[in-house]
């Protein structure tokens, strides 16, 4: 019997190309709808925050539904938040002036390295969270960023570039990845498939 394809709503910030993440999530087994209006996010059963844009540009788009959206995520709506999508889960960022969603405590900091952005493949050491099921710790993932949260209590995976930073975080059913799973070959595909399984359980 074919497993159902869970519906996933992809947030369109209006600031960049989201085609690659949409296609990758579809290949992982989901039905993808793109939400161009922020109020459409409040009825979504599962969400994906793509990894395009800057902190204030993303929060400017999410701002009108910031409190309601944060409450839905705290209440258990599954969400995969990629790169900048992960960063806006935090309270604030050195990149911008606006408040983040505040699901996670702390400030996203500029990386301490002579060469920025951090661009290319790097290893990810993870703690065995279900989002990494079938992916060995130390696998390579693809990064493009200059800011990242510290590897604090919410981190479920870590990478070092100048200093250690959180490569992935979790709170409730919300998983953030600083790397781009849609650009990370077989390891990234497995992460997306694991998210699809999480979304399928939500029904």
Catalytic entry in 30, 83, 118, 193: 83
Interaxial angle between packed helices 55-62 and 66-74, expressed in degrees from 0 to 180 and rounded to the nearest 10:
90
**Three-class DSSP category at 118:** strand
Q: What is the pTM of this model?
A: 0.95
pLDDT in tens, 31-62: 999 998 888 999 999 999 999 999 999 999 99
Beta-strand relationship, 7-11 and 155-161? unpaired
Q: Specify the CATH number of the domain 7-202.
A: 3.40.50.880
CA dist 172 → 44, 46, 175, 189 (Å): 17, 13, 8, 22
Question: In the annotation, is 182 catalytic?
Answer: yes
Question: In the annotation, is 30 catalytic?
Answer: no
Catalytic entry in 118, 126, 145, 180: 180
The tokens of 129 are what? 């969270």
Average pLDDT over residues 132-148: 98
Question: C-alpha dihedral over 10, 133, 157, 175, to 10 degrees?
Answer: 30
């Amino acid at each position: 019997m074919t497993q159902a394809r869970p519906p996933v709503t992809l947030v369109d910030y209006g600031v960049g190309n989201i085609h690659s993440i949409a296609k990758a999530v579809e290949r992982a087994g989901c039905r993808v709808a793109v939400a161009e209006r922020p109020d459409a996010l409040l009825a979504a059963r599962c969400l994906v925050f793509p990894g395009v844009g800057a902190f204030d540009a993303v929060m400017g788009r999410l701002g009108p539904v910031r409190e309601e959206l944060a409450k839905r995520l705290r209440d258990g709506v599954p969400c995969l938040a990629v790169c900048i999508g992960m960063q806006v889960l935090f309270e604030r960022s050195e990149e911008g002036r606006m408040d983040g969603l505040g699901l996670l405590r702390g400030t996203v900091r500029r990386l301490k390295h002579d060469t920025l952005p951090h661009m290319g493949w790097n290893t990810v050491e993870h703690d065995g969270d279900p989002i990494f099921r079938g992916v060995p710790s130390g696998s390579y993932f693809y990064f493009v960023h200059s800011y990242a949260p510290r590897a604090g209590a919410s981190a479920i995976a870590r990478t070092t570039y100048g200093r250690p930073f959180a490569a992935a975080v979790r709170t409730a059913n919300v998983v953030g990845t600083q790397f781009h799973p849609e650009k990370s070959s077989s390891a990234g595909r497995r992460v997306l498939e694991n998210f699809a399984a999480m979304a399928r359980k939500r029904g």
